[in-house]
């Protein structure tokens, strides 16, 4: 078993984080999941949420992601995020802007499944707002 997990977080603009860590907790579309060294191969879609990056038994970094994909291969986790920024920047204005964007996207969709997915995104963002900001 490897000692550490190599983790890279990539956004369309740049590599946001790259390093070796003990564990990363990821907001998967089916629920949060923890990635440790020697994790089984996995690909997952991400929902809006906070990635927790651990060194030892403490959270070293928290990063908000607004969707994307995660891939785990051996001792490496790569996340391709649609949008990402430090969770410390989840202030009231930023969260309300994200919720407003999500509601506008939901209003523009006509197919039932797309509307349901957009509404789920609104619900998750509102929950994050209520539990972390407000």
Say what the pTM is: 0.78
Domain positions in the chain: 5-87, 90-133
Mean pLDDT of 79-104: 90
Supply the mean pLDDT for the chain: 89
12-25: pLDDT as tens digits: 888 999 999 999 99
Q: In the prediction, which pLDDT does 2 show?
A: 65
* Long-range pairs, 51-57, Cβ under 8 A, ≥24: 51/9, 51/24, 51/25, 51/26, 51/27, 51/79, 51/84, 52/24, 52/25, 53/7, 53/17, 53/21, 53/24, 54/21, 54/22, 54/23, 54/24, 54/25, 55/21, 55/22, 56/22, 57/22
CATH superfamily, region 5-87? F0F1 ATP synthase delta/epsilon subunit, N-terminal (2.60.15.10)
């Amino acid at each position: 078993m490897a000692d550490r997990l190599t983790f890279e977080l990539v956004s369309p603009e740049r590599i946001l984080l790259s390093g070796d860590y003990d564990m990363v907790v990821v907001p998967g579309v089916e629920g949060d999941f923890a990635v440790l060294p020697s994790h089984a191969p996995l690909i997952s879609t991400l929902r809006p949420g906070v990635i927790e990056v651990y060194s030892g038994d403490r959270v070293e970094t928290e990063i908000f992601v607004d969707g994307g994909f995660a891939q785990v291969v051996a001792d490496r986790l790569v996340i391709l995020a649609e949008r990402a920024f430090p969770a410390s920047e989840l202030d009231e204005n930023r969260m309300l802007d994200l919720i407003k964007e999500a509601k506008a996207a939901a209003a523009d969709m006509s197919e039932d499944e797309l509307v349901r997915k957009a509404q789920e995104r609104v619900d998750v963002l509102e929950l994050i707002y209520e539990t972390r900001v407000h």
